Structure 1
Amino acid sequence: MTATPFDAYVICTSPRSGSTLLCSLLEATGVAGIPDSYFHQPSLEEWIKDLGLSPDPAKREVETLKDVFREAIAQGSGDTGMFGLRLQRHSFACFTEKLAVLYPDPPGDRSRIEAAFGRTLFIHLTREDKLDQAVSYLKAQQSGLWHRAPDGSELERLSAPQELRYDREAIAAQRAEMVAMDAAWAAWFDGEGIDPLRLTYNGLAADPIGTLKTVLTALGRDPAAADAVEIGVAKLSDATNQAWVARFRAEENAGTQT
Protein backbone atom coordinates (compact mmCIF):
# COMPACT_ATOMS: atom_id res chain seq x y z
CA MET A 1 0.00 0.00 0.00
CA THR A 2 1.42 3.37 -1.06
CA ALA A 3 1.76 5.96 1.67
CA THR A 4 -0.43 9.05 1.34
CA PRO A 5 1.43 12.31 0.58
CA PHE A 6 0.10 14.08 3.67
CA ASP A 7 -0.21 13.42 7.39
CA ALA A 8 -2.40 16.44 8.09
CA TYR A 9 -4.29 19.34 6.62
CA VAL A 10 -5.11 22.85 7.80
CA ILE A 11 -8.27 24.56 6.58
CA CYS A 12 -7.30 28.24 6.51
CA THR A 13 -10.50 30.26 6.59
CA SER A 14 -12.65 32.96 8.17
CA PRO A 15 -16.12 32.80 9.76
CA ARG A 16 -19.18 32.07 7.61
CA SER A 17 -17.16 30.59 4.75
CA GLY A 18 -18.61 27.06 4.86
CA SER A 19 -15.92 25.48 7.02
CA THR A 20 -18.42 23.72 9.32
CA LEU A 21 -19.94 21.97 6.31
CA LEU A 22 -16.51 21.01 4.95
CA CYS A 23 -15.34 19.70 8.34
CA SER A 24 -18.50 17.62 8.77
CA LEU A 25 -18.09 16.12 5.30
CA LEU A 26 -14.45 15.22 5.88
CA GLU A 27 -15.21 13.64 9.24
CA ALA A 28 -18.08 11.63 7.74
CA THR A 29 -15.75 9.90 5.28
CA GLY A 30 -14.00 8.12 8.16
CA VAL A 31 -10.63 8.45 6.40
CA ALA A 32 -9.66 12.10 6.87
CA GLY A 33 -9.55 12.81 10.57
CA ILE A 34 -11.96 14.80 12.70
CA PRO A 35 -11.24 18.40 11.72
CA ASP A 36 -12.20 21.12 14.18
CA SER A 37 -10.95 24.39 15.67
CA TYR A 38 -8.67 22.86 18.29
CA PHE A 39 -6.81 26.15 18.79
CA HIS A 40 -9.78 28.48 18.42
CA GLN A 41 -9.62 30.74 21.46
CA PRO A 42 -6.53 32.98 21.75
CA SER A 43 -5.58 31.50 25.11
CA LEU A 44 -3.58 28.47 26.20
CA GLU A 45 -5.91 28.12 29.20
CA GLU A 46 -8.90 27.85 26.86
CA TRP A 47 -7.11 25.26 24.72
CA ILE A 48 -6.51 23.14 27.83
CA LYS A 49 -10.17 23.45 28.83
CA ASP A 50 -11.58 22.77 25.37
CA LEU A 51 -9.43 19.65 24.96
CA GLY A 52 -10.54 18.25 28.32
CA LEU A 53 -7.09 18.43 29.90
CA SER A 54 -6.31 19.29 33.51
CA PRO A 55 -4.17 22.40 34.05
CA ASP A 56 -0.90 21.84 35.88
CA PRO A 57 0.62 25.12 37.14
CA ALA A 58 3.86 23.30 38.00
CA LYS A 59 4.60 22.57 34.35
CA ARG A 60 6.61 24.88 32.14
CA GLU A 61 4.73 26.39 29.21
CA VAL A 62 6.57 24.28 26.67
CA GLU A 63 5.63 21.08 28.49
CA THR A 64 1.99 22.15 28.67
CA LEU A 65 2.07 22.91 24.94
CA LYS A 66 3.42 19.43 24.25
CA ASP A 67 0.43 17.98 26.10
CA VAL A 68 -1.99 20.26 24.27
CA PHE A 69 -0.69 19.50 20.80
CA ARG A 70 -0.48 15.77 21.53
CA GLU A 71 -4.13 15.73 22.64
CA ALA A 72 -5.31 17.91 19.75
CA ILE A 73 -3.63 15.60 17.25
CA ALA A 74 -5.20 12.57 18.92
CA GLN A 75 -8.69 14.10 18.87
CA GLY A 76 -8.29 15.52 15.37
CA SER A 77 -7.05 12.24 13.89
CA GLY A 78 -9.28 9.64 15.51
CA ASP A 79 -8.28 6.29 14.08
CA THR A 80 -7.78 7.60 10.54
CA GLY A 81 -4.05 8.34 10.67
CA MET A 82 -4.63 11.91 9.45
CA PHE A 83 -4.98 15.11 11.48
CA GLY A 84 -7.46 17.78 10.46
CA LEU A 85 -7.41 21.36 11.74
CA ARG A 86 -9.68 24.31 11.02
CA LEU A 87 -7.76 27.54 11.60
CA GLN A 88 -9.78 30.74 11.63
CA ARG A 89 -7.78 33.84 10.84
CA HIS A 90 -8.58 35.51 14.16
CA SER A 91 -7.01 32.49 15.92
CA PHE A 92 -3.86 32.61 13.82
CA ALA A 93 -1.65 34.98 15.84
CA CYS A 94 -1.98 33.07 19.12
CA PHE A 95 -1.58 29.73 17.37
CA THR A 96 1.67 30.69 15.62
CA GLU A 97 3.01 32.42 18.74
CA LYS A 98 2.59 29.26 20.83
CA LEU A 99 3.84 27.08 18.00
CA ALA A 100 7.09 29.09 18.04
CA VAL A 101 7.44 28.38 21.77
CA LEU A 102 7.03 24.67 21.13
CA TYR A 103 9.26 24.60 18.01
CA PRO A 104 11.70 27.52 18.23
CA ASP A 105 14.25 26.19 15.74
CA PRO A 106 12.39 25.63 12.43
CA PRO A 107 12.49 28.79 10.30
CA GLY A 108 8.97 30.06 9.75
CA ASP A 109 5.38 29.09 10.43
CA ARG A 110 5.11 26.43 7.73
CA SER A 111 8.15 24.57 8.99
CA ARG A 112 6.83 24.71 12.56
CA ILE A 113 3.40 23.47 11.50
CA GLU A 114 4.99 20.52 9.73
CA ALA A 115 7.24 19.88 12.73
CA ALA A 116 4.06 19.57 14.78
CA PHE A 117 1.75 17.75 12.37
CA GLY A 118 3.92 16.16 9.69
CA ARG A 119 3.41 16.67 5.96
CA THR A 120 0.59 19.18 5.75
CA LEU A 121 -1.82 20.21 3.00
CA PHE A 122 -2.97 23.80 3.34
CA ILE A 123 -6.52 24.48 2.16
CA HIS A 124 -7.79 28.02 1.65
CA LEU A 125 -11.57 28.15 1.97
CA THR A 126 -12.95 31.58 1.17
CA ARG A 127 -16.29 33.23 0.52
CA GLU A 128 -16.19 35.39 -2.57
CA ASP A 129 -19.06 37.76 -1.71
CA LYS A 130 -17.85 39.59 1.38
CA LEU A 131 -21.15 41.43 1.82
CA ASP A 132 -23.04 38.13 1.99
CA GLN A 133 -20.42 36.90 4.46
CA ALA A 134 -20.68 39.99 6.64
CA VAL A 135 -24.49 39.84 6.71
CA SER A 136 -24.38 36.15 7.58
CA TYR A 137 -21.97 36.86 10.45
CA LEU A 138 -23.99 39.73 11.91
CA LYS A 139 -27.24 37.79 11.66
CA ALA A 140 -25.67 34.78 13.41
CA GLN A 141 -24.42 37.03 16.19
CA GLN A 142 -27.86 38.53 16.71
CA SER A 143 -29.85 35.31 16.40
CA GLY A 144 -27.35 33.24 18.40
CA LEU A 145 -27.79 30.43 15.88
CA TRP A 146 -24.66 29.56 13.91
CA HIS A 147 -25.51 26.21 12.31
CA ARG A 148 -28.62 24.16 11.58
CA ALA A 149 -29.09 20.56 10.37
CA PRO A 150 -30.99 19.76 7.16
CA ASP A 151 -33.99 18.62 9.24
CA GLY A 152 -34.25 22.07 10.84
CA SER A 153 -32.78 21.16 14.22
CA GLU A 154 -30.12 23.38 15.74
CA LEU A 155 -26.51 22.23 15.54
CA GLU A 156 -24.77 25.17 17.19
CA ARG A 157 -26.30 27.97 19.24
CA LEU A 158 -23.93 30.31 21.08
CA SER A 159 -26.43 32.67 22.70
CA ALA A 160 -30.11 33.34 23.24
CA PRO A 161 -31.85 34.91 20.25
CA GLN A 162 -32.13 38.67 20.02
CA GLU A 163 -34.33 40.76 17.79
CA LEU A 164 -32.80 40.90 14.32
CA ARG A 165 -31.81 44.48 13.51
CA TYR A 166 -30.30 45.84 10.32
CA ASP A 167 -27.11 47.75 11.13
CA ARG A 168 -25.40 49.34 8.15
CA GLU A 169 -22.27 50.42 10.05
CA ALA A 170 -21.80 46.97 11.60
CA ILE A 171 -22.19 45.28 8.22
CA ALA A 172 -19.68 47.65 6.61
CA ALA A 173 -17.15 47.09 9.39
CA GLN A 174 -17.58 43.33 9.24
CA ARG A 175 -17.19 43.31 5.46
CA ALA A 176 -13.93 45.24 5.78
CA GLU A 177 -12.76 42.73 8.40
CA MET A 178 -13.55 39.79 6.12
CA VAL A 179 -11.62 41.41 3.27
CA ALA A 180 -8.68 41.99 5.61
CA MET A 181 -8.71 38.34 6.74
CA ASP A 182 -8.49 37.09 3.16
CA ALA A 183 -5.68 39.53 2.40
CA ALA A 184 -3.81 38.35 5.50
CA TRP A 185 -4.10 34.71 4.41
CA ALA A 186 -2.89 35.59 0.91
CA ALA A 187 0.13 37.46 2.30
CA TRP A 188 0.97 34.56 4.61
CA PHE A 189 0.76 32.00 1.82
CA ASP A 190 3.10 34.12 -0.29
CA GLY A 191 5.53 34.68 2.57
CA GLU A 192 5.68 30.99 3.45
CA GLY A 193 5.86 29.75 -0.14
CA ILE A 194 2.54 27.90 0.15
CA ASP A 195 0.34 27.14 -2.84
CA PRO A 196 -2.85 26.06 -1.05
CA LEU A 197 -5.70 23.99 -2.37
CA ARG A 198 -8.21 26.75 -3.09
CA LEU A 199 -11.90 26.20 -2.36
CA THR A 200 -14.80 28.62 -2.39
CA TYR A 201 -18.02 28.85 -0.44
CA ASN A 202 -20.06 28.94 -3.65
CA GLY A 203 -18.32 25.90 -5.07
CA LEU A 204 -18.77 23.97 -1.84
CA ALA A 205 -22.45 24.93 -1.59
CA ALA A 206 -23.13 24.03 -5.22
CA ASP A 207 -21.35 20.67 -5.16
CA PRO A 208 -20.41 19.55 -1.64
CA ILE A 209 -19.65 15.95 -2.56
CA GLY A 210 -17.61 16.96 -5.60
CA THR A 211 -15.65 19.40 -3.44
CA LEU A 212 -15.14 16.69 -0.84
CA LYS A 213 -13.75 14.35 -3.50
CA THR A 214 -11.36 17.09 -4.63
CA VAL A 215 -10.01 17.41 -1.08
CA LEU A 216 -9.72 13.65 -0.57
CA THR A 217 -7.84 13.28 -3.86
CA ALA A 218 -5.45 16.08 -2.89
CA LEU A 219 -4.85 14.36 0.45
CA GLY A 220 -4.10 11.04 -1.24
CA ARG A 221 -7.24 9.39 0.12
CA ASP A 222 -9.70 7.41 -1.97
CA PRO A 223 -12.34 9.86 -3.25
CA ALA A 224 -14.84 7.01 -3.27
CA ALA A 225 -15.03 7.50 0.50
CA ALA A 226 -17.27 10.48 -0.28
CA ASP A 227 -19.91 8.43 -2.08
CA ALA A 228 -21.90 7.45 1.00
CA VAL A 229 -21.55 10.78 2.82
CA GLU A 230 -24.75 12.68 3.61
CA ILE A 231 -24.93 16.45 3.93
CA GLY A 232 -25.24 17.31 7.62
CA VAL A 233 -25.37 21.12 7.62
CA ALA A 234 -28.05 23.33 6.07
CA LYS A 235 -27.79 26.89 4.79
CA LEU A 236 -29.04 29.55 7.20
CA SER A 237 -29.44 32.26 4.58
CA ASP A 238 -33.06 33.35 4.20
CA ALA A 239 -35.19 36.31 3.20
CA THR A 240 -33.67 38.40 5.99
CA ASN A 241 -30.17 37.94 4.60
CA GLN A 242 -31.38 38.85 1.12
CA ALA A 243 -33.22 41.94 2.36
CA TRP A 244 -30.21 43.22 4.32
CA VAL A 245 -27.87 42.67 1.37
CA ALA A 246 -30.24 44.43 -1.01
CA ARG A 247 -30.75 47.35 1.39
CA PHE A 248 -27.02 47.76 1.99
CA ARG A 249 -26.24 47.75 -1.74
CA ALA A 250 -29.01 50.26 -2.44
CA GLU A 251 -27.74 52.59 0.30
CA GLU A 252 -24.16 52.19 -0.88
CA ASN A 253 -25.11 52.94 -4.48
CA ALA A 254 -27.15 55.96 -3.41
CA GLY A 255 -24.19 57.27 -1.44
CA THR A 256 -21.88 56.81 -4.41
CA GLN A 257 -24.20 58.71 -6.71
CA THR A 258 -24.66 61.75 -4.45
Structure 2
Amino acid sequence: MPLRRRWQKGSGRRSNGSGPVAQVRLIQSTALPALFRSPARSRPGSVNNFDSYLICTTPRSGSTLLYQLLAATGCAGKPDSYFHAPILEEWMAYYDLDRSAFPDTKSTLRAIFAEAIHQRKAATDIFGLRLQGKSRAFFLQQLRSLYPTAGDDLARLKATFGEVCFVYLNRRNKLEQAISIVKAEQTGLWHRNADGTELERLTPPADPVYDPIAIARYMAELEEGDAAWRDWFAAQQITPHIIHYEQLENDPIGALTDVLYLLGIDPARGAEFTPATDKLADSTNREWARRFLADHPTH
Protein backbone atom coordinates (compact mmCIF):
# COMPACT_ATOMS: atom_id res chain seq x y z
CA MET A 1 0.00 0.00 0.00
CA PRO A 2 1.47 3.36 -0.98
CA LEU A 3 1.92 6.03 1.63
CA ARG A 4 -1.00 8.44 2.00
CA ARG A 5 0.91 11.69 2.25
CA ARG A 6 0.23 14.14 -0.57
CA TRP A 7 1.98 17.28 -1.71
CA GLN A 8 -0.12 20.39 -2.40
CA LYS A 9 2.44 21.96 -4.71
CA GLY A 10 3.04 21.17 -8.37
CA SER A 11 4.29 17.94 -9.77
CA GLY A 12 7.91 18.56 -8.82
CA ARG A 13 9.17 17.80 -12.33
CA ARG A 14 11.94 20.09 -13.47
CA SER A 15 11.38 22.35 -16.47
CA ASN A 16 12.86 21.26 -19.79
CA GLY A 17 15.79 23.64 -19.79
CA SER A 18 18.92 23.34 -21.84
CA GLY A 19 22.01 21.51 -20.71
CA PRO A 20 23.19 17.91 -20.46
CA VAL A 21 20.80 15.09 -19.68
CA ALA A 22 20.57 14.46 -15.95
CA GLN A 23 22.58 11.51 -14.77
CA VAL A 24 22.94 9.81 -11.42
CA ARG A 25 25.60 8.00 -9.50
CA LEU A 26 25.04 4.26 -9.47
CA ILE A 27 26.36 1.48 -7.28
CA GLN A 28 28.68 -0.94 -9.05
CA SER A 29 28.18 -4.68 -8.78
CA THR A 30 31.07 -7.03 -9.42
CA ALA A 31 28.46 -9.79 -9.81
CA LEU A 32 26.97 -8.20 -12.92
CA PRO A 33 28.34 -8.25 -16.49
CA ALA A 34 29.77 -5.08 -17.98
CA LEU A 35 26.48 -3.93 -19.52
CA PHE A 36 24.98 -3.66 -16.04
CA ARG A 37 27.90 -2.05 -14.21
CA SER A 38 27.15 1.63 -13.93
CA PRO A 39 30.02 4.01 -13.30
CA ALA A 40 29.77 6.77 -10.73
CA ARG A 41 28.27 9.86 -12.33
CA SER A 42 27.81 13.48 -11.45
CA ARG A 43 24.40 15.03 -11.02
CA PRO A 44 23.88 17.83 -13.55
CA GLY A 45 20.88 20.05 -13.07
CA SER A 46 18.80 19.34 -16.17
CA VAL A 47 16.13 16.79 -16.91
CA ASN A 48 15.34 13.46 -18.50
CA ASN A 49 12.01 13.41 -20.30
CA PHE A 50 10.48 10.16 -19.07
CA ASP A 51 6.75 9.45 -19.21
CA SER A 52 6.97 6.34 -17.05
CA TYR A 53 9.32 4.13 -15.08
CA LEU A 54 9.50 0.39 -14.58
CA ILE A 55 10.87 -1.15 -11.37
CA CYS A 56 12.20 -4.55 -12.49
CA THR A 57 12.76 -6.90 -9.59
CA THR A 58 12.34 -10.23 -7.80
CA PRO A 59 10.55 -10.89 -4.47
CA ARG A 60 12.05 -9.60 -1.21
CA SER A 61 14.36 -7.08 -2.88
CA GLY A 62 12.95 -3.97 -1.18
CA SER A 63 10.59 -2.94 -3.96
CA THR A 64 7.71 -2.22 -1.58
CA LEU A 65 9.87 0.23 0.33
CA LEU A 66 11.06 1.89 -2.88
CA TYR A 67 7.65 2.32 -4.49
CA GLN A 68 6.14 3.58 -1.23
CA LEU A 69 8.84 6.23 -0.98
CA LEU A 70 8.31 7.25 -4.60
CA ALA A 71 4.55 7.49 -4.11
CA ALA A 72 5.01 9.51 -0.93
CA THR A 73 6.80 12.29 -2.78
CA GLY A 74 3.53 13.16 -4.47
CA CYS A 75 5.29 13.76 -7.80
CA ALA A 76 6.24 10.28 -9.06
CA GLY A 77 2.83 8.71 -9.59
CA LYS A 78 1.55 5.83 -7.50
CA PRO A 79 3.68 2.84 -8.50
CA ASP A 80 2.67 -0.73 -7.67
CA SER A 81 2.29 -4.17 -9.27
CA TYR A 82 -0.72 -3.33 -11.42
CA PHE A 83 -0.24 -6.23 -13.84
CA HIS A 84 0.98 -8.88 -11.41
CA ALA A 85 -1.58 -11.64 -11.97
CA PRO A 86 -1.35 -13.53 -15.30
CA ILE A 87 -5.09 -13.19 -15.81
CA LEU A 88 -6.58 -10.48 -18.02
CA GLU A 89 -9.89 -10.59 -16.18
CA GLU A 90 -8.17 -9.62 -12.94
CA TRP A 91 -6.58 -6.62 -14.65
CA MET A 92 -10.02 -5.54 -15.86
CA ALA A 93 -11.65 -6.04 -12.46
CA TYR A 94 -8.96 -3.92 -10.83
CA TYR A 95 -9.98 -0.97 -13.03
CA ASP A 96 -13.72 -1.73 -12.98
CA LEU A 97 -13.81 -2.50 -16.69
CA ASP A 98 -16.43 -4.74 -18.32
CA ARG A 99 -15.00 -6.96 -21.05
CA SER A 100 -18.32 -7.07 -22.86
CA ALA A 101 -17.93 -3.35 -23.51
CA PHE A 102 -14.99 -4.00 -25.85
CA PRO A 103 -15.18 -5.76 -29.23
CA ASP A 104 -11.83 -7.55 -29.11
CA THR A 105 -8.68 -8.19 -27.09
CA LYS A 106 -6.77 -5.25 -28.54
CA SER A 107 -9.42 -2.74 -27.54
CA THR A 108 -9.63 -4.38 -24.12
CA LEU A 109 -5.88 -4.05 -23.59
CA ARG A 110 -5.89 -0.44 -24.78
CA ALA A 111 -8.60 0.35 -22.25
CA ILE A 112 -6.75 -1.39 -19.42
CA PHE A 113 -3.46 0.37 -20.04
CA ALA A 114 -5.13 3.74 -20.62
CA GLU A 115 -7.05 3.45 -17.35
CA ALA A 116 -3.96 2.31 -15.45
CA ILE A 117 -1.97 5.30 -16.68
CA HIS A 118 -4.83 7.71 -16.00
CA GLN A 119 -5.49 6.48 -12.46
CA ARG A 120 -1.97 5.72 -11.30
CA LYS A 121 -0.27 8.85 -12.47
CA ALA A 122 -2.19 10.19 -9.46
CA ALA A 123 -2.31 13.78 -10.76
CA THR A 124 1.43 13.78 -11.53
CA ASP A 125 3.36 13.77 -14.82
CA ILE A 126 4.64 10.19 -14.66
CA PHE A 127 3.40 6.59 -14.41
CA GLY A 128 5.26 4.02 -12.29
CA LEU A 129 5.02 0.23 -12.43
CA ARG A 130 6.66 -2.56 -10.44
CA LEU A 131 7.17 -5.74 -12.47
CA GLN A 132 8.26 -8.96 -10.80
CA GLY A 133 10.21 -11.40 -12.93
CA LYS A 134 7.46 -14.03 -12.83
CA SER A 135 4.94 -11.49 -14.14
CA ARG A 136 7.11 -10.39 -17.06
CA ALA A 137 6.21 -13.09 -19.62
CA PHE A 138 2.42 -12.63 -19.47
CA PHE A 139 2.71 -8.85 -19.33
CA LEU A 140 4.94 -8.73 -22.41
CA GLN A 141 2.72 -11.22 -24.19
CA GLN A 142 -0.18 -8.77 -23.85
CA LEU A 143 1.96 -5.99 -25.30
CA ARG A 144 2.87 -8.24 -28.22
CA SER A 145 -0.82 -8.89 -28.84
CA LEU A 146 -1.45 -5.17 -28.82
CA TYR A 147 1.52 -4.23 -31.04
CA PRO A 148 2.34 -7.34 -33.12
CA THR A 149 4.38 -5.44 -35.71
CA ALA A 150 6.58 -3.55 -33.24
CA GLY A 151 10.22 -4.52 -33.48
CA ASP A 152 10.84 -5.60 -29.90
CA ASP A 153 9.58 -5.41 -26.31
CA LEU A 154 11.15 -2.00 -25.76
CA ALA A 155 9.26 -0.58 -28.76
CA ARG A 156 6.02 -2.02 -27.40
CA LEU A 157 6.63 -0.57 -23.94
CA LYS A 158 7.27 2.84 -25.46
CA ALA A 159 4.15 2.59 -27.59
CA THR A 160 2.14 1.89 -24.44
CA PHE A 161 3.81 3.99 -21.77
CA GLY A 162 5.89 6.57 -23.65
CA GLU A 163 9.56 7.05 -22.79
CA VAL A 164 10.37 4.50 -20.07
CA CYS A 165 13.04 4.66 -17.36
CA PHE A 166 14.16 1.21 -16.20
CA VAL A 167 15.14 0.65 -12.57
CA TYR A 168 16.66 -2.76 -11.81
CA LEU A 169 16.32 -3.60 -8.12
CA ASN A 170 18.06 -6.76 -7.00
CA ARG A 171 19.56 -8.33 -3.90
CA ARG A 172 23.13 -9.55 -3.79
CA ASN A 173 22.70 -11.93 -0.82
CA LYS A 174 20.54 -14.68 -2.24
CA LEU A 175 20.63 -16.71 0.96
CA GLU A 176 19.07 -13.88 2.95
CA GLN A 177 16.58 -13.23 0.16
CA ALA A 178 15.52 -16.88 0.04
CA ILE A 179 15.18 -17.05 3.81
CA SER A 180 13.01 -13.95 3.71
CA ILE A 181 10.65 -15.62 1.22
CA VAL A 182 10.45 -18.91 3.10
CA LYS A 183 9.79 -17.18 6.41
CA ALA A 184 7.12 -14.90 4.89
CA GLU A 185 5.36 -17.86 3.29
CA GLN A 186 5.36 -19.78 6.56
CA THR A 187 4.32 -16.94 8.89
CA GLY A 188 1.97 -15.25 6.42
CA LEU A 189 3.43 -11.82 7.16
CA TRP A 190 5.04 -10.15 4.15
CA HIS A 191 5.34 -6.52 5.20
CA ARG A 192 5.16 -4.56 8.44
CA ASN A 193 4.74 -0.84 9.02
CA ALA A 194 7.44 1.15 10.78
CA ASP A 195 5.16 1.45 13.84
CA GLY A 196 5.04 -2.34 14.18
CA THR A 197 1.55 -2.87 12.77
CA GLU A 198 1.00 -5.33 9.94
CA LEU A 199 1.00 -3.94 6.41
CA GLU A 200 0.51 -7.11 4.38
CA ARG A 201 -0.54 -10.54 5.65
CA LEU A 202 -1.58 -13.27 3.21
CA THR A 203 -2.29 -16.19 5.56
CA PRO A 204 -3.11 -16.63 9.27
CA PRO A 205 -0.14 -16.38 11.67
CA ALA A 206 2.05 -19.46 12.04
CA ASP A 207 5.44 -20.20 13.56
CA PRO A 208 8.40 -20.39 11.16
CA VAL A 209 10.18 -23.73 10.76
CA TYR A 210 13.69 -24.06 9.33
CA ASP A 211 13.44 -25.65 5.87
CA PRO A 212 16.82 -25.92 4.09
CA ILE A 213 15.28 -27.59 1.02
CA ALA A 214 12.91 -24.67 0.44
CA ILE A 215 15.72 -22.18 1.05
CA ALA A 216 17.98 -23.89 -1.49
CA ARG A 217 15.15 -24.07 -4.02
CA TYR A 218 14.42 -20.36 -3.71
CA MET A 219 18.09 -19.47 -3.95
CA ALA A 220 18.25 -21.26 -7.30
CA GLU A 221 15.02 -19.62 -8.50
CA LEU A 222 16.24 -16.17 -7.50
CA GLU A 223 19.52 -16.65 -9.34
CA GLU A 224 17.54 -17.71 -12.40
CA GLY A 225 15.25 -14.71 -11.98
CA ASP A 226 18.15 -12.26 -11.93
CA ALA A 227 19.72 -13.96 -14.93
CA ALA A 228 16.44 -13.71 -16.83
CA TRP A 229 16.23 -9.97 -16.15
CA ARG A 230 19.83 -9.48 -17.30
CA ASP A 231 19.19 -11.49 -20.47
CA TRP A 232 16.06 -9.46 -21.23
CA PHE A 233 17.87 -6.14 -20.68
CA ALA A 234 20.64 -7.28 -22.99
CA ALA A 235 18.22 -8.46 -25.68
CA GLN A 236 16.41 -5.10 -25.57
CA GLN A 237 19.69 -3.14 -25.37
CA ILE A 238 18.55 -1.52 -22.13
CA THR A 239 21.02 -0.25 -19.55
CA PRO A 240 18.94 0.03 -16.39
CA HIS A 241 19.54 2.14 -13.32
CA ILE A 242 20.75 -0.41 -10.76
CA ILE A 243 19.80 -0.36 -7.10
CA HIS A 244 20.88 -3.16 -4.81
CA TYR A 245 18.75 -4.06 -1.81
CA GLU A 246 21.75 -3.54 0.43
CA GLN A 247 22.10 0.04 -0.81
CA LEU A 248 18.37 0.68 -0.34
CA GLU A 249 18.46 -0.80 3.15
CA ASN A 250 21.43 1.32 4.27
CA ASP A 251 20.38 4.59 2.62
CA PRO A 252 16.74 4.54 1.47
CA ILE A 253 16.54 8.31 1.02
CA GLY A 254 19.75 8.32 -1.02
CA ALA A 255 18.33 5.61 -3.28
CA LEU A 256 15.09 7.56 -3.58
CA THR A 257 16.75 10.83 -4.52
CA ASP A 258 18.91 9.00 -7.10
CA VAL A 259 15.74 7.79 -8.82
CA LEU A 260 14.14 11.23 -8.62
CA TYR A 261 17.25 12.75 -10.26
CA LEU A 262 17.06 10.16 -12.99
CA LEU A 263 13.37 10.89 -13.62
CA GLY A 264 14.00 14.62 -13.76
CA ILE A 265 12.15 15.29 -10.51
CA ASP A 266 13.50 17.69 -7.92
CA PRO A 267 15.37 15.42 -5.46
CA ALA A 268 14.47 17.75 -2.62
CA ARG A 269 11.00 16.23 -2.87
CA GLY A 270 12.40 13.02 -1.39
CA ALA A 271 14.77 14.44 1.20
CA GLU A 272 12.41 14.69 4.16
CA PHE A 273 10.76 11.27 4.17
CA THR A 274 11.34 8.40 6.55
CA PRO A 275 10.67 4.78 5.53
CA ALA A 276 7.17 3.62 6.40
CA THR A 277 7.99 -0.09 6.40
CA ASP A 278 9.97 -2.05 8.95
CA LYS A 279 12.47 -4.82 8.32
CA LEU A 280 11.13 -8.26 9.17
CA ALA A 281 14.52 -9.98 9.46
CA ASP A 282 15.37 -10.95 13.03
CA SER A 283 17.30 -13.52 15.04
CA THR A 284 15.38 -16.31 13.30
CA ASN A 285 16.68 -15.19 9.92
CA ARG A 286 20.23 -15.01 11.24
CA GLU A 287 20.00 -18.46 12.84
CA TRP A 288 18.65 -20.01 9.65
CA ALA A 289 21.46 -18.44 7.65
CA ARG A 290 24.03 -19.77 10.11
CA ARG A 291 22.59 -23.29 9.96
CA PHE A 292 22.32 -23.28 6.18
CA LEU A 293 25.92 -22.13 5.71
CA ALA A 294 27.13 -24.73 8.19
CA ASP A 295 25.38 -27.47 6.20
CA HIS A 296 26.16 -26.01 2.76
CA PRO A 297 29.63 -24.43 3.04
CA THR A 298 29.92 -23.90 -0.74
CA HIS A 299 27.17 -21.25 -0.56
Alignment of 1:20-99 (within 5 A): 20-56=64-100, 59-99=103-143
What is the CA deviation profile of residues 132-186 of structure 1, one whole-angstrom value per residue up to 9, with x for unaligned ones? 0000001111111111011001111111122311111111000100000000000
Distance 1:58 1:212, change over 3 A: closer
**Aligned amino acid, residue 14 of structure 1:** T
Distance 1:51 1:132 in 2: 36
State yes or no: 1:6 paired with 2:50: yes
Is the CA contact 1:42–1:95 (under 8 Å) kept in the aligned structure 2? yes
Moved over 4 A (4+): none
Q: Deviations over 1:3-35 (max 9, x none)?
A: 741110000000000000000000001111110
Partner of 2:178: 134
**Aligned-partner SS, 1:85:** strand
Say what the alpha-carbon RMSD is for the aligned residues. 1.3
Shifted more, 49-58 versus 91-100: the winner is 49-58
Any unmatched runs of 5+ in structure 2?
1-14, 17-46
Scaled by the length of structure 1, what TM-score is found? 0.95
Task: Note the C-alpha offset of 1:193.
Answer: 0.3
Identity of aligned residues (%): 48
Which of 197, 200, 210 does residue 241 from structure 2 map onto?
Answer: 197
Task: Tell me, in whole angstroms, the C-alpha distance in 1 between the residues paired with 2:77 and 2:128.
Answer: 5
- The separation in 2 between residues aligned to 1:239 and 1:228, in whole angstroms, is 31
- Describe the shift of the 1:245–1:119 C-alpha distance in structure 2 as closer, same or farther (beyond 3 A): same
Of 45, 59, 63 in structure 2, the residue corresponding to residue 15 of structure 1 is 59
- Identify the residue that residue 103 of structure 1 maps to in structure 2: 147
Kept in 1, the 8 Å contact 2:190–2:202? The answer is yes
Q: Aligned match of 1:113 in 127, 133, 157?
A: 157
Checking the alignment, whether the CA contact within 8 Å between 1:38 and 1:51 is kept in structure 2 is: no
Tell me the CA shift for residue 63 of structure 1.
1.2
> Greater helix percent: which structure?
1
Give TM-score scaled by structure 2 length: 0.82
The answer as to whether partners of 2:86 and 2:139 remain within 8 angstroms in 1 is yes
Tell me if the contact between 2:102 and 2:108 (Cα under 8 Å) persists in the aligned partners.
no
- 1:238 aligns to 2:282 (yes or no): yes
Aligned residue type for 1:33 = G
Rounded Cα–Cα distance in structure 2 between residues aligned with 1:106 and 1:121 = 19
Residue identity opposite 1:206 in structure 2: N
Mind listing any 5+ residue stretches in structure 1 that lack a counterpart? none
